[in-house]
Amino acid sequence: AQSVAQPEDQVNVAEGNPLTVKCTYSVSGNPYLFWYVQYPNRGLQFLLKYITGDNLVKGSYGFEAEFNKSQTSFHLKKPSALVSDSALYFCAVKRDAGNMLTFGGGTRLMVKP
């Protein structure tokens, strides 16, 4: 069975500082990895995905993520955080067969001015 772990319930960072939101996964076969962001009372918004190729993936709003196969990780990063980045972030994985997304429990990002 596939699973995703987001080890931090909350990440606090000062505006202008770099941010990292951690994600590790467990899946049989090749993983397809996704990051979504959720603002209050709104659905999930797609940020970026890793399918194959370059391990560094760039996405929306200046976010990027690095796929590390040996560490089974897909951490989300941004060089300079904005207060408006404060939201709930979800990592998700698809396995080789099937189209369902398996989500982590989410990490709340708080960016303070």
Partner 1 sequence: GAGVSQTPSNKVTEKGKYVELRCDPISGHTALYWYRQSLGQGPEFLIYFQGTGAADDSGLPNDRFFAVRPEGSVSTLKIQRTERGDSAVYLCASSLIGGRADTQYFGPGTRLTVL
Binding residues among 37-76 for partner 1 as defined by CB under 8 A: 41-46, 49, 51
The distance from CA 102 to its chain's CA centroid, rounded to whole angstroms, is 12
Number of residues that bind partner 1 (CB under 8 A): 25
If we measure between CA atoms, which residue out of 102, 36, 92, 101 comes closest to residue 63? Answer: 36
- Give the dihedral sign, CA 79/85/87/88: negative
* Position among 65, 81, 94, 109 found at the interface with partner 1 (CB under 8 A): 94
104 binds partner 1, rule: CB under 8 A: yes
Q: Which is nearer to partner 1, 78 or 89 (CB)?
A: 89
Give dist(CA 11, CA 1) in Å, integer: 28
- Give the dihedral sign, CA 106/63/17/110: negative
Taking the complex as a whole, the smallest distance from the CB of residue 54 to partner 1 amounts, in Å, to 15
* Position among 25, 35, 36, 63 found at the interface with partner 1 (CB under 8 A): 36
**Residues of the shown chain interacting with partner 1 in the complex, contacts defined by CB under 8 A:** 4, 32, 34, 36, 41-46, 49, 51, 90, 92, 94, 96, 98-106
